[in-house]
Structure 1
Amino acid sequence: MTCKDPGVETADQTTLNILRKLTRYSWDAKAVLIFTAFATNYGVLWHLDNYSHSDTLAKSLATIKRVSLLRKELDSVKYGQAIKYINEFRTLSKYDTKDVPELSAALRQIPLVSYWIIHTLVASSIELHCYLSGVQGQAHKYLNELFEKSESILLTLENHLQLIREQIEEVELYRWLVDQTDHFPTDITLFLSKLIDGKHKARPLINCSTQLEEYIEDFLKEKKLILIVSKRLDISTEDLEILYSIYNEVKKENKFEMVWIPVIPDPPMDGDEEAYEYLISVMKWYVVPFNTKIAGMRFLEERWELREDILMVVLNTQSKVEFSNAIHLTRIWEKEALPFTYDRAKALLKKNWIESTVVKFTDQPRLRSLVVINQERNVIFYGGHNPRWIKKFEESAETMKRDPTTREEGITFELAPVGMNKGEQDPVITFRFWMAQRSYFILKHQLQGSTATEDISRLISYETEDGWAIITKGPTVVFVAGGDLILKAMDQFNLWKKNMRRLGFSGSFKEHFDELTATSLHCTNVNLIGYSGWIPLFITCPMCRRYMGSGIRFTCCHGGPDVLF
């Protein structure tokens, strides 16, 4: 390096020659070796400058060689700092790049950064040699360009390092949260603080009942936690009403506290702050402040599977999960689902499906009391979004009722419209009905397996049809049907009414419907998009018993609110 003519081309060619000679060394090792060689050759100049303040001879020699001026110019190029960053990247490479993706980007920079470190050291070495030999050196402009280049490289490395440190903090927090919920009992106040802020003591939350701030340690100590998390600020009125009833019930014994964590995008979207302010004005429980960036976001999304729908996790005083997503329990049984344990869920699932999720959405008092169902009567629950289909269904049902064969056999059945209010289709009741069906399906599938959910999945698959029906005999579901096929079966009553003496009304109806289904299969969809928490990975088709395919659905709401269902 010391015997080269000055010039940009010389510095570049010398750098390439050095790299060829050091092929068997890693890129960071190459940079360190050249930096060591440079320091060995020219460390005396820095030595003179350091001792010139206390040693007269050193000061004289430094003055003669104009060391302070030369060192000031060469010190502007921060050789060592870039090498420190590279070494830190290597040290941090113990982390998996899947967990710390920025580390992969930083490691890819090492060859280029090492080249420029060596190139800069070569150029500096040539400049020093020329200076000490009294030879005309390189253009001052080039050294300034190297200074700017080194500043740019350092800024890039600093940005990488900052992002890496943030991602490592996220990884360490994620591991800590997993350990505490799975293995090590941890006070619920510490767990919630770390989940929200990543610190042992989080900023205070807002008590919506008083609109005052309170620290987690002050209100949650030795209590169970109902943690509500949402990525959306358009929580439905139906869900809010359910949460109110839960809150009023748990406050009677004061064993639970409820906390809502809204996940706000950064930066917030237009209208987010107004929506947030409205919600905290109508809520009664504790809420995380609007501008909070949730530290445990990865844990929420990967471990607790937070998606678009509300997630409601119930934890005990030692941060053990007592129920992974109680929102499904509350949408079906509301406060009856307390205290939100798996034992309570299993007990509630022993109740009849129709009793739990269908009867309460009818407007017939006799059915609400289950008198008819307990009498082993035939009941047809029905609904749909197409008024013409519903009218046709009701007309066909009345025709079957009036048929002489029906009367001769002494057969009767009740018609029970679902989602109606005073004779009119009520969209709110209909929305809650389908919400309850999906929640029941997910719970049943999670706790009892896929074979326990065939009737429910069949019903859900008919949601987009013009209409649907559930035919029951007492508490037993005989079959679920929908669309034009059940209308066709009813129109063909004359073909199957002769079997009613042998099979009964519901049995002969089912037999004929199954025959029609076998010859007219079409694609079936069970839509569970957006639900948080556990959802089944595989669903058996309610029609053909094969595993259903899964994929991605793209949705556009034309600027309006997203629709989950």
Structure 2
Amino acid sequence: MNTKGASGSAKPADAKPAGSATNNDAPKPSPFKISDEQIKEQIFKAHGNDGTLAADSLFPIVVNILKRSTQIVDDLVKGYAKVPPAKTEDTQNVPTANINIPICTLKDIRFELSCCKDPQPETAHERTLKILTNLKAYSWDATAVLTLAAFSSEFGDFWLLVELEKSNHNNLSKSLAILKGASNLTSTAEILQARKTAVIALNDLIKDTLELTDIIFQLENLSSDFPIEIAKIPKETDIYWIMIAVIACGSKVAILTSTEEIKPLDLSPYADKIKAVLTTRKGKLTDLLLKKAEGAFYSDLVKVSKIRTKDPEFLAKLFFGKDYADDNAKLIIDESNNCNKVVLNVLTDKTKTLFILVSYLDIFDDDLDILKLIQTEKIAKDQKLQEQYGIVWMPIVDENQPEYYQKMAKDIVNRVRTNKMEGFVVKPVSHQATLKFLKKEWNFKGSPIVAVKDEDKGIYVNRNTFYTISILGLEAFPFDKRKETEFINAMKWMIPLFKDYSDVGDDKLSTWVKMENNYIFIFGGKDKTGWAKDMKEKRETMLKVLNPDRTKGTFTIKLLDVEQNLDTKERFWKRLEGLFITKINHYDDRPKQQIQRLYSYKNEERGWFALNKGDETIIVGNRTSFSKMMDEFDKWSGKIRPQEFEVAFRDYHEKTLTTLWGQMNCSRVDIPKNAPKVKEGIKCPECDHEMEMSIRYNCCHNFSRVIPILRT
């Protein structure tokens, strides 16, 4: 029998297209049982990322509809069948009248949104992919907004009719409400009460879904500020969950308004997923907005810090962060006035030059005493100086150890009173913009710093004044560049390192340096016994030749071993480190070379020395160069003229040093973490060549003090 017709071969009535049986019989995947990566793979196959729809113009319309509709639901559920009160309209999301809305596309989406017959997750997933396929010509943002728009038009219609029915009682609204199924849900208080839990769950899911969409768009607007972080957010997957949640909401509305027997739909899996994504994205948005605000505040802080006429504004922002404009927040502790709180204007209005101590709360009392000495022994004793200068302690709170530092912050007043600083203290600072400023602009890395006003620029800078104060003491007040240069360039930088040392032998060091013809060899090294003995023998050799008649006392040489005990050693090297830091970016000169040379001998195995005549440092060298000099003493001792031992010693030492370069160990200069950035490299303090740079990390296993880490 011929089965062909006009259109070709006839097919049995129950025949299925090739491949269709396999597709229809295959189990549908539940979105809650597959991974986000699998979802991502499927949605990318279904959807592109093109289109020109202005999602940001359509979204305010959707927001207006859903916010007003969900508010009607809240009022109605809480008051049951009572007429909701009039609401103030949202003026922030005013819809644009001339937007070009794809009406036919919205109708197609509405058709997919509600499914009364099979409202299960598997079906919702399948319909979501279908919508994505149909909207492949639109961007991901537009796809999300169009889906919400299609739902909002139905949801908004429904609750608008409910509101009209309760207030107007006209036949048109009543008839439309019946067709929409509104009467099935809201006709009596009993019916609404019976479905109250389901209605509230639906309403909450709609509100969370709308909020998540808004947050995704806000994050997208931050992409130019944080491109890497925004790129890591799986926006496409988030939009998928928004769409499938909207489909679930559409099905739930159909179920709640129907009188037919329909399969139940539990919204809790959708609500849990949307809530989880919302919590994560909201946290990310909060974090990025905070970072953006901090970045803007930091930029402004840097800007005003460089304008000499804006000291009051700069100090207010530095001390109080975003509260700088709040007069009630701009309070500082005045220790000289029984720790009462006073306004910041007591400092800024008097055009004082401030010494700003920046440190963590666990600063040692010895370090606080340095500033207290300036206040009590210098400023407080001179009325004119009191008008010109002030001391402010700016304690830093590290957020990485909140409990430890919160406790210390509470005790700050007691500590100030105990130390009797007689200066000013601001409340502990923790705002990140200020911490960033301190780290980047003032090179604060944990160790205390003192910022002062640069006399040339008229702005506050960190010139490592803390070390100048701790080393040179009150004699260098007011610790400006002129005073600092005066001390160091006079080669009188060694003696201040020992300003508070106890008696050495039968005399004090302060007495030694006042004697015009008194030579002092300051020395140290890890070979304590051998090097000390060697130094004594070399001193005797020099005295026999240079001062044969001991009774006249015309020539004396003193010895000082600075590493004879641990306390002496630690203080010496700590102070020398501070001196090294103050000179690290100064122009190359002899004082800088000698300071760097001595600092490079910190880990010298055999030994080192520094020759001083009175309070002036003549030369710094190591045991190897000194030993060779003494082996050849007869070659240069005869050239020594009266009162010029130091000249002959220095010249021959530098000549000897050049012959030993190939025999000595490599010179090493360790840059302390709190040192400023080296601008032009460092020259070798021995041979004057440019030193190679390397990075080395140390741990001395000293856990006696907590050193906080500044966050970046």
The TM-score normalised by the length of structure 2 is 0.67
Cα displacement (A) at 1:175? 1.3
Instruction: Report what 1:52 is aligned to.
Output: 165
Q: 2:331 aligns with which of 195, 199, 204?
A: 204
- Which residue in 1 is equivalent to 2:236? 111
Aligned 8 A contact 2:492 2:616 in 1: no
**1:18 matched to 2:131:** yes
Q: Deviations over 1:487-511 (max 9, x none)?
A: 7436xx3345334335844433443
Q: How does 1:77-156 map to 2 (within 5 A)?
A: 77=205, 78=207, 79-96=209-226, 104=229, 108-129=233-254, 137=262, 139-141=264-266, 143-156=267-280
State the secondary structure of the residue aligned to 2:685: coil
Q: Secondary structure at the match of 1:469?
A: strand
Contact 2:626 2:653 in 1 (8 A): no
Please report how far the alpha carbon of residue 386 of structure 1 lies from its aligned counterpart in structure 2 after TM superposition: 5.4
In the alignment, which residue of structure 1 is the partner of 2:353?
A: 224
Question: Is 1:169 the counterpart of 2:293 in the alignment?
Answer: yes
**Structure 1 counterpart of 2:222, one-letter code:** L
Larger radius of gyration: 2
Q: SS of 2:394's equivalent?
A: strand
1:480 lines up with 2:620 in the alignment? yes
| SS at 2:668 equivalent | coil
Q: Is the 8 A contact 2:611 2:619 kept in 1?
A: yes
Amino acid at match of 1:93: S
Once the two structures are aligned, what percentage of the paired residues are identical? Answer: 20
* Residue range with higher mean Cα deviation, 265-274 or 73-82: 265-274
1:399-414 equivalences in 2 (<5 Å): 399-401=540-542, 414=557
Q: Which residue in the other structure is 2:447 paired with? A: 309
Deviation (angstroms), 1:31:
1.3
Report if aligned partners of 1:461, 1:527 keep a CA contact under 8 Å in 2.
Answer: yes
TM-score (norm 1): 0.82
Q: Confirm or deny: 8 A CA contact 1:380 1:414 kept in the other structure.
A: yes
Q: Secondary structure at the match of 1:167?
A: helix
- The alpha-carbon deviation at position 312 of structure 1 amounts to 0.7
Residue 149 of structure 2 is matched in structure 1 by 36
Q: Secondary structure, in 3 states, of the residue corresponding to 1:150?
A: helix
- SS at 2:166's partner residue? coil
Structure 2 distance, partners of 1:156, 1:138, is 32
- 2:38 is aligned to none
Assess if the C-alpha contact under 8 Å between 2:625 and 2:656 holds in 1.
no
Give unmatched runs, 5+ long, in structure 2.
1-108, 187-191, 641-647
Separation in 1 of the partners of 2:545 and 2:588?
44
Provide the C-alpha distance between the structure 2 equivalents of 1:367 and 1:497, rounded to a whole number of angstroms.
Answer: 28
Shift of 1:459: 0.5
Provide the residue aligned with 1:286 in structure 2.
424
Q: Give the distance between the partners of 1:477 and 1:518, measured in 2 at CA.
A: 27
- The one-letter code matched in structure 1 to 2:362 is L
Look up the equivalent residue of 1:245 and give its one-letter code.
Answer: L
| Contact 1:205–1:213, Cα closer than 8 Å, also in 2 | yes
Classify 1:261/1:133 alpha carbon distance in 2 versus 1 (closer, same or farther; 3 Å): same
| Counterparts of 1:547 and 1:499, CA distance in 2 | 32
2:674 is aligned to 531
Cα deviation, residue 131, structure 1: 5.9
Quick one: which of 466, 469, 479 aligns to 2:609?
469
Aligned to 2:392, what secondary structure does the other structure show? strand
Deviates more, 1:546-555 or 1:352-361: 352-361
Partners of 1:443 and 1:367 in 2: how far apart? Answer: 27
1:186 match: secondary structure: helix
Q: Alpha carbons of 1:138 and 1:397: their partners in 2 closer, same or farther (altered >3 Å)?
A: farther
Cα gap change, 1:537 to 1:83, in 2 (>3 Å): farther
| Residue pair 2:520, 2:612 contacting (<8 A) in 1 also | yes
Shift of 1:120: 0.7
**1:178-189 correspondence runs (5 A):** 178-183=302-307, 185-188=309-312
Residue 178 of structure 1: CA displacement?
Answer: 0.6
Match of 1:383 in 2: 524
How far apart are the structure 2 equivalents of 1:478 and 1:292? 47
Shift of the 512–191 alpha-carbon distance from structure 1 to 2, 3 Å rule, reads closer
Indicate how the Cα distance of structure 1 residues 75 and 431 shifts in structure 2: closer, same or farther if over 3 A, else same. same
Is the Cα–Cα contact under 8 Å of residues 357 and 394 in structure 2 kept in the other structure?
Answer: yes
Looking at structure 2, the residues matched to 226 and 133 of structure 1 have their Cα atoms a distance apart, in angstroms, of 77
Query: Does the 8 A contact of 2:334 with 2:423 survive in 1?
Result: yes
**Aligned partner of residue 586 in structure 2, secondary structure:** helix
Check conservation: 1:220, 1:257, Cα contact below 8 A: no
Q: CA deviation at 1:7?
A: 1.7
Where in structure 1 are there 5+ consecutive unaligned residues? 99-103
Amino acid at match of 1:448: Y
Match of 1:234 in 2: 363
The equivalent position to 2:183 in structure 1, one of 39, 56, 64, is 64
Question: Which deviates more from structure 2 when the two are superposed, residues 431-440 or residues 158-167?
Answer: 431-440
Question: Is the counterpart of residue 350 in structure 1 residue 480 in structure 2?
Answer: no
The 2-side partners of 1:320 and 1:460 are apart by: 31
- Alignment partner of 1:480: what SS? strand
User: Contact 1:181 / 1:320 at 8 angstroms: preserved in 2?
Assistant: yes
CA contact (8 A) 2:298 2:433 kept: no
Q: 1 or 2 for the larger relative contact order (CA 8 Å, sep ≥6)?
A: 1
Match of 2:535 among 371, 394, 415: 394
Contact 1:229 1:312 in 2 (8 A): yes
- Does the residue aligned with 1:185 lie in a helix, a strand or coil? helix
In structure 2, distance between residues paired with 1:87 and 1:196: 33
1:326-365: CA deviations, max 9, x gaps?
2122123222333343344344443224466457568334
Q: Is the 8 A contact 1:262 1:288 kept in 2?
A: yes
Secondary structure of the 1:145 match is helix
Alpha-carbon distance change, 311 to 54 in structure 1, aligned in 2, over 3 angstroms: same
- Deviations 1:486-536 (CA, angstroms, capped at 9, x unpaired): 57436xx334533433584443344344433431323x3323323265555
Q: Does the alignment pair 1:546 with 2:690?
A: yes
Show CA shifts across 1:115-148 (max 9, x none).
Answer: 211111122234445666766555432x122122
Secondary structure of the residue aligned to 1:448 is: coil
Of the candidates 381, 390, 401, which is equivalent to residue 257 of structure 1? 390
Q: Distance in 2 between matches of 1:450 and 1:49?
A: 89
State the 1:257 CA deviation. 1.9
How many angstroms apart in 2 are the aligned matches of 1:225 and 1:387? 44
Hey, what's the Cα distance between the residues in 2 that align with 1:515 and 1:563? Answer: 44
CA distance, structure 1, for counterparts of residue 559 and residue 322 of structure 2: 53
Matches within 5 A, 1:433-444: 433-444=572-583
1:234 to 1:387, Cα distance in 2 relative to 1, 3 A: farther
Deviates more, 1:457-466 or 1:532-541: 532-541
Amino acid across the alignment from 1:498: K
Q: What amino acid is aligned across from residue 208 of structure 1 in structure 2?
A: E
Contact 2:517 2:554 in 1 (8 A): no
Q: How many residues align?
A: 544
Q: Indicate the residue corresponding to 1:101 in structure 2.
A: none
Q: What is the alpha-carbon distance in structure 2 between the residues aligned to residue 161 and residue 184 of structure 1?
A: 37
CA pair 559-364 structure 1, distance change in 2 beyond 3 A: closer
Paired amino acid for 2:529: R
Distance (whole Å) between structure 2 residues aligned to residue 42 and residue 127 of structure 1:
11
